[in-house]
Structure 1
Amino acid sequence: MKIVIIGAGEIGYDLASVLSKEKHDVIVLDRDEDCLNKVTENLDVLTHQGNATSAKDLVDTGVKDADILIAVTSIDEVNMIASMMSKRLGADMVIARIRSDELSRPNAPLKPTDLGIDVLIHPELSAAQEIVRLIKRASANDLVTLADGKMQMIGLRIGKQSPLVGKSIIEYAQENPDLTFRVVAISRKGMTIIPRGKVNIQALDQIFILAKTECIPEVVKTTGKPDIEINRVMIAGGTPIGAMIARILCGDEKKWNIKLIEPDFDTAQELAKELKDVLVLNGNPTDPDLLATEGITDTDAFISVTDDEESNIISCLMAKHLEVKKTVALVSKSDYIPLSQTIGLDAAINKKAAASNEIHRHVWGGRVISVAALQGIKAEVIELQAAENAKVTKKSIRKINFPDECVIGGIMRNGSSTIATGESTIQANDRVIIFCKPEAIDKITSLFK
């Protein structure tokens, strides 16, 4: 496919990198020469220097023939204008990143389609929702909801005292015959392992387990993780993500005790007016004296989502040192994610990954229902629907020639979900959850067509 990406920032660069590896024809448009030079030096894509709101520059970039145009600059208005012009110039599908919720509100005077936008991406909201899920499932480092909420994939760090240390995947399953689950991926010392039955679990492994949603608490217990109750939450940063987290928690059935720290006085004042059930404090969230005064030692979860990712990591480390049960940091550099878990943080969230996941699903299209990149690991979770007469419907899973870099996790059929085994069969229109390395994606999707 021919894909035009407008904006060579973090998200644009990340998308160009992934899509070019999947053999798409990618062109990146940006007015910043330094950003384009970085793209040219490191990626196998074309670039064009120009203005995203100029019809001439859009035509010169080739939007007329684009199968997909993705507008991901840091300015909402530029993305909107570029989307509208590109659609009129002939782009088949237009995907735009819009930070404001003006277009997504129920009573909004303008709809995305009025501006030529087929798919609206809101990475800040996706990141906020992911953080809330992690707070609710406190023992998890990573959490992905699948099959319309009926199944979840949970990422857990294996401690040195875990009963699983030294046991193979087969032994782990045999010792828990009443539980249905599947270990689908392991991150070990920077390496990604798609495990088979004889692989042993080691201390400090990050293991990813798929199970029915209602079984997740029991699965967590088998790893030796304590069942943590989270009630008191402290949020560092009144950024759009910080405010969204507070709003989501305030609208929850559970009554949360929430404190939010924001260094800018005017922003703090506005949030205090809006968030009646949140104690909003004006101060520096990396100030140890302020954190101590406001009772961080009595806090169950500390979430740092300021615009400075180094400050997020440092403040979470301080909170962890003060024995806060759960810490979550917002980071923008994907290289920081495996590092953050190594130095002691519970979870790190990358908002550009949330945008990439949503955009990727629409790039693949067809039978791909959802896709999610796992944090700190080179593997992806794909939810595919089997077509009539697809190759995967001909035999049992054991007899299908799947790539070594993938594993079938679960199957959803007629509203009910099951964990897949070698004897399981896939029928037409089944939704199948697959874990695989990026290089296996094309092979896998071809089996479902």
Structure 2
Amino acid sequence: MKIVIIGAGEIGYDLASVLSKEKHDVIVLDRDKDSLNKVTENLDVLCHEGNATSAKDLVDAGVKEADITIAVTSIDEVNMIASMLSKRLGTQMVIARIRNDELSRPNSPLKPTDLGIDVMIHPELSAAQEIVQLIKRSTATDVINLADDKMQLIGLRLEKNSPLVGKTLSEYAEEFSEITFRVVAIARRGLTIIPSGTVRLQALDQIFVLAQTESIPNVIKTTGKIETEINTIMIAGGTPVGEMVARMLCSQEKSWTIKLIEPDYDIAVELAQDLKDVLVLNGNPTDPDLLATEGISDTDAFISVTDDEESNIISCLMAKHLEVKKTVALVSKSDYIPLSQTIGLDAAINKKSAASNEIHRYVRRGRVISVTALQGIKAEVIELQAAPGSKVVKKPIQKIGFPQGCVIGGIQRNGSVEIATGQSQIKANDRVIVFCLPEAVDKITSLFQ
């Protein structure tokens, strides 16, 4: 597939890296030479220096013949113009990153399709939604909703005193046979394990467990963890992500006590006027004295979402040192994700992966319903629909030759969901949740066609 990526920033680079590894024909367009040089030096893709709002430069980059054009510059207006021109020039599908939510509002005079945009992505919104899910599941490092929210995948770190340490997955399942769940991946000292029943759990393993949503609290109890109630929340940073998190929390049925710290006075005043149920403070969120004065030691959750990811990590470490129950940091470097959890943070959110997850679904299309990369490990969660004549239907899962590095987690059929076993049988048009390593994605996808 021929894909033109407009914008060689963090998200553009990340997408080019992922898509080129999947053997797509990728061309990156940007006017900044340094950004393009970084892409050229590290990735097997073509680069074109040019203006995203110039029809000539877009033609030279190949948008006329492109299957997909992805506009992910840091400026909404540039992405809009590039999308409109690309569609007029003949691109089959246009995906654009638009931070402003005006186009998605019901009463908007313009629709995304009016600007040639087939799919509009909003990484900041996706990151905010993920943070809110993590606040609701206080003990989890990751929370992913699947199968129309009927199933959840959660990440849990096993403490040294966890009752599961030393047990095999078969022993774990047998001991808690009254709960239907499946451990689908394990992150262990930088390694990603797609496990079998003989794998023995170790202290500090991060396990990813799939279960029906209503069973998740019982699954959490099996690890020795207790869901702590979160009532008071402090947000560091009045960035778009911070503002969205505050708005989402205020709109929930539960009533939280929320404080938001923003260093820029004008932004703080504006947020204070807009967020009536939030106490907005003007100050430095990395200042220990300010945090202590504002009662961080009595705070249940601390969320750091400033534009400086190092400050986010340091702020969360200070909060953790002061015994805050839940800390969440926004980071942009994917290398920081496993590191942040090793040094003691509860969860780290990456905007780039949120954008990649959304875009991946449309790049793969066909029988792929959704694609989600798991934070900090090399594994993906894919929701696939089984085609009537595909190789996966009409036989038990254990008799299907699935590629190494993948496991079937769950099956959704006619609105009901079940955790898959070796005896489970996939039927035509079932939605199937698969966990696999990146190198197995194409093989597993082809089995469902």
Q: TM-score, normalised by structure 2?
A: 1.00
Shift of 1:389: 1.2
CA distance in 2, matches of 1:138, 1:384: 29
SS of equivalent residue, structure 1 residue 103: helix
- The equivalent of 1:396 in structure 2 is 396
Letter in 2 for 1:43: L
CA distance in 2, matches of 1:306, 1:17: 26
Letter in 2 for 1:95: I
Shift of 1:106: 1.3
- The equivalent of 2:297 in structure 1 is 297
CA distance in 1, matches of 2:102, 2:46: 33
Shift of 1:150: 0.2
CA distance in 2, matches of 1:101, 1:323: 36
CA distance in 2, matches of 1:200, 1:313: 31
- The equivalent of 1:422 in structure 2 is 422
CA displacement 1:193-228 (0-9 Å, x = unmatched): 000000001001110000000000000000011221
SS of equivalent residue, structure 2 residue 156: strand
- The equivalent of 2:65 in structure 1 is 65
Letter in 2 for 1:142: D
Whether the 8 Å CA contact 2:69–2:86 is kept in 1: the answer is yes
- The equivalent of 1:160 in structure 2 is 160
- The equivalent of 2:215 in structure 1 is 215
Q: Does 1:387 align with 2:351?
A: no
CA distance in 2, matches of 1:352, 1:102: 22
SS of equivalent residue, structure 2 residue 74: coil
The two structures, once aligned, show a CA RMSD in angstroms of: 0.5
SS of equivalent residue, structure 1 residue 229: coil
- The equivalent of 2:118 in structure 1 is 118
Letter in 1 for 2:406: C
Shift of 1:102: 1.4
- The equivalent of 1:324 in structure 2 is 324
Shift of 1:343: 0.2
CA distance in 1, matches of 2:208, 2:431: 20
CA distance in 1, matches of 2:255, 2:229: 13
Of the structure 1 ranges 175-184 and 388-397, higher mean CA displacement relative to structure 2 is found in 388-397
CA displacement 1:224-274 (0-9 Å, x = unmatched): 112210110000000000000000011111111000000011101011111
Whether the 8 Å CA contact 2:137–2:227 is kept in 1: the answer is no
- The equivalent of 1:134 in structure 2 is 134
CA displacement 1:317-375 (0-9 Å, x = unmatched): 00000000000000000000000000000000001110000000000001111111000
Residue identity (%):
80
CA distance in 1, matches of 2:271, 2:106: 22
Moved over 2 A (4+): none
CA distance in 2, matches of 1:244, 1:81: 26
SS of equivalent residue, structure 1 residue 47: strand
CA distance in 2, matches of 1:323, 1:262: 22
Shift of 1:394: 3.2
- The equivalent of 1:24 in structure 2 is 24
Q: How does 1:303-322 map to 2 (within 5 A)?
A: 303-322=303-322
- The equivalent of 1:251 in structure 2 is 251
Q: Does 1:44 align with 2:57?
A: no
Gaps of 5+ in 1: none
Shift of 1:105: 1.2
SS of equivalent residue, structure 2 residue 392: helix
CA distance in 2, matches of 1:29, 1:147: 36
CA distance in 2, matches of 1:167, 1:73: 48
CA distance in 1, matches of 2:355, 2:398: 34
CA distance in 1, matches of 2:230, 2:390: 45
Shift of 1:11: 0.5
CA distance in 1, matches of 2:281, 2:444: 50
Q: How does 1:218-297 map to 2 (within 5 A)?
A: 218-297=218-297
Q: How many pairs are equivalent?
A: 449
Q: Does 1:366 align with 2:366?
A: yes
Letter in 2 for 1:84: M
- The equivalent of 2:172 in structure 1 is 172
CA distance in 2, matches of 1:432, 1:394: 14
CA distance in 1, matches of 2:93, 2:319: 45
Letter in 1 for 2:122: H
